[in-house]
Amino acid sequence: MKRDSLPAFACSLLEFVLPGPYREAILGDLIEEYTLRSESTSRFAASRWFWSQACRSVPSMVWSSLRSRDCLISISTAMGVYIVMKILEHGAELAISKWVAPQPTTYVLLAPVVFLTSSAIGGCVAARIRRGATKFLALMVMITVAVLIDLKVCTIPVPWWYQFGFLTLGPLAVIITPTLFGRLKQQRALA
């Protein structure tokens, strides 16, 4: 059975959500059982079973992780990184509004760059300290942006997609950048 016939999205979801110690074992068990089921029944039935297992497994594993100390350490790391990230971001925004771009239009253009850069750096730092901390950091970024949008903090009129970009690209930058850097590092090591 080729791995590409597996429900790829369910696999990625589990890979992201499941806590570290048992991630490999659970995914391996599911892949093995999926292979057996798709040979004995149909690929559709096996996929349906895989999805039901994935959806039902996430809450119990996340709850179990929340009860353990491991999760608290990851949350604390994410909080620490988030505070440093916001201080740096605030400093950069102050510098931009004072010296680089005092006009609101230029500020609107530069703010996403600062935000995405700080999110990407934050994600890399969090992943370096603790791998599990990136998902909590991404969640924190998402919640903060959602709250800021809801409170209508931005006084400059901007289109909806501008704010939506902050809401989606910020958490994505936190998650994707360390993965990309990890792959680059692996490729360099192999070369």
Partner 1 sequence: MKRGELLGSLEQIILLALMRLDGNAHGMIVRREIEKRTGRNISIGAVYATLERLETKGYVSSFTGEPTPERGGRAKRIFRVEAAGKRALQISEQTIRSMTAGLKDGWGTT
Determine which residue in the list 13, 47, 51, 58 makes contact with partner 1, applying CB under 8 A: 58
Determine which residue in the list 5, 24, 95, 102 makes contact with partner 1, applying CB under 8 A: 24
Q: Which two tokens stand for residue 8?
A: 């790829």
Query: Closer CB to partner 1, residue 23 or residue 86?
Result: 23
Query: Closer CB to partner 1, residue 39 or residue 158?
Result: 39
Q: Which stretch binds partner 1 (CB under 8 A): 50-58, 90-98, 154-162, 167-175?
A: 50-58
Query: Closer CB to partner 1, residue 68 or residue 186?
Result: 68
Q: Which stretch binds partner 1 (CB under 8 A): 61-69, 130-138, 140-148, 155-163?
A: 61-69
Query: Closer CB to partner 1, residue 42 or residue 64?
Result: 64
CA-based torsion, 23, 25, 31, 34: positive or negative: negative
* CA distances to 4, 38, 48, 159 from 28, in Å: 15, 15, 17, 45
CA-based torsion, 54, 60, 64, 66: positive or negative: positive
Determine which residue in the list 20, 21, 104, 182 makes contact with partner 1, applying CB under 8 A: 21
Binding mask 98-117 for partner 1 (x = CB under 8 A): --------------------
CA distance 179 to 166: 20
DSSP 49-114: HHHHHHHHHHHHHHHHHHHSHHHHHHHHHHHHHHHHHHHHHHHHHHHIIIII--SHHHHHHHHHHH
Chain residues that interact with partner 1, rule: CB under 8 A: 1, 3, 6, 18, 21-22, 24-33, 35, 53, 56-61, 63-64, 68
